[in-house]
Chain A
Amino acid sequence: MDKVQIGEFIRSLDSDLDIKEGKQFTEVIIPPSKLHSLASLLKEKEETSFDFLVCITGVDYGNELGVIYHLRSTKYGHTVVLKSRTADREKPVFDSVTDIWKGADLHEREAFDLLGIKFANHPDLRRLFLNSSWGFPLRKDYIDEDIITW
């Protein structure tokens, strides 16, 4: 399927979603509550069969925190991008997709480690690289007196 067809297919699954055709891929802006259900649908449906999670990206937009999922089908070779945001900076929680794609495990741990984004139902959400005393260094409001800026 090409970009337009993927967009139309996803609209047929859920008509409320905001779907854009980006430069490269179809982009789906999705509220955190619908993320897990749509992700599992996209994998299971024969027409899309997104069986490969390429990457999870955590983003700090300044006032909001977000995650971006790049999904790819090894069967058809098409790609879709799911984008989700939350305004809650104290307890940002998204549903884990480790039960759909096992490879999400380390990606989610990394996003948790560097941005403090939590993933509900993750089997082992520990910090990946840094010590527990560390803050979340990729957040815009991260403060460290040792950092040199000029």
Chain B
Amino acid sequence: MGIKGMKYEEFGDNESLELLRKSGSNVILTTIDDVINWGRKNSLWPLTFATSCCGIEMMQTGAPKHDFARFGMEVYRASPRQADVIVVAGTIVKKMAPVLKRLYDEMSEPKYVVAMGACTITGGPFCEYSYTVVNGVDKIIPVDVFIPGCPPRPQALLYGMLQLQRFIETETADSKKKRSASHSYK
């Protein structure tokens, strides 16, 4: 693994990147986008937000052994106004949902969401017959990357964050419009 991001050859899943690149864009804008996206993807600041055990794995990912900081995600921000990405780590219950929505709304653009763990993807072990748990955080806020696991290992979170970086790398004005239009959340 390189110190600053992964090289194209070293990444296991390049098909998704090629697929994203195919979306098509203007030649002049592409050059500017490339520079902006390069800056954005290498300084992804996550929000300090964790509701349960996935948060412990997220802390471990930030700790020296796995070291998030190699990829430019070193600074956890305590304020949503300074954060770029919110890692939803843990079960979201219906009483917590308005708070999460508000945190997301307070983040400044561009903002990304990573749904970490089974609870945030579908409700996980609380999915059935639960009157309190939100069955999938994508019902409240738009999600860019889903990381399965219960909880996902730090390697899985790192992989997910790298996928997010690749997603940001290929973003264009068009794809941003499409992305915001495709979200059906209320």
**A positions within 8 Å CB-CB of B:** 130-131, 137, 142, 144, 146-150
CA–CA, A150 to B130, complex, Å?
12
Name A149's contact: one of B95, B123, B128 (CB within 8 Å): B128
B162 within 8 A of A: no
In contact, A148 and B123 (Cβ under 8 angstroms)? yes
Q: How far is the CB of A138 from chain B (nearest CB, A)?
A: 8
Total A-B residue pairs with C-beta atoms closer than 8 Å? 19
In contact, A131 and B129 (Cβ under 8 angstroms)? no
Task: Determine the main DSSP class of B at the interface with A.
Answer: loop
CA–CA, A71 to B116, complex, Å?
45
For A149, the chain B residues whose CB sits under 8 A away are 128-129
Chain B residue total in the interface (Cβ 8 A): 9
Q: How far is the CB of B94 from chain A (nearest CB, A)?
A: 8
Name B135's contact: one of A137, A142, A146, A150 (CB within 8 Å): A146
B130's nearest neighbour on chain A, judged by CB, is: A147
B73 within 8 A of A: no
For B8, the chain A residues whose CB sits under 8 A away are none
B56 within 8 A of A: no
For A137, the chain B residues whose CB sits under 8 A away are 131-132
Q: How far is the CB of B118 from chain A (nearest CB, A)?
A: 14
B122's nearest neighbour on chain A, judged by CB, is: A148
In contact, A147 and B131 (Cβ under 8 angstroms)? yes
CA–CA, A137 to B129, complex, Å?
10
In contact, A147 and B95 (Cβ under 8 angstroms)? no
CA–CA, A148 to B132, complex, Å?
11
CA–CA, A147 to B129, complex, Å?
5
CA–CA, A150 to B135, complex, Å?
14
In contact, B131 and A144 (Cβ under 8 angstroms)? yes
CA–CA, A146 to B136, complex, Å?
11
For A142, the chain B residues whose CB sits under 8 A away are 131
CA–CA, A16 to B95, complex, Å?
47
CA–CA, A142 to B135, complex, Å?
18
CA–CA, A150 to B131, complex, Å?
15
For A150, the chain B residues whose CB sits under 8 A away are 128
B20 within 8 A of A: no
CA–CA, A144 to B135, complex, Å?
13
B127 within 8 A of A: yes
Sort A-B residue pairs by CB-CB distance and give the 7 closest, nearest first: A137-B131, A144-B131, A148-B128, A148-B127, A148-B135, A147-B131, A147-B129
For B135, the chain A residues whose CB sits under 8 A away are 146, 148
For B95, the chain A residues whose CB sits under 8 A away are 130-131
Q: How far is the CB of A19 from chain B (nearest CB, A)?
A: 36
Q: How far is the CB of A107 from chain B (nearest CB, A)?
A: 20
A129's nearest neighbour on chain B, judged by CB, is: B95
CA–CA, A130 to B95, complex, Å?
8
CA–CA, A56 to B70, complex, Å?
54
For A131, the chain B residues whose CB sits under 8 A away are 95
For A130, the chain B residues whose CB sits under 8 A away are 95
B127's nearest neighbour on chain A, judged by CB, is: A148
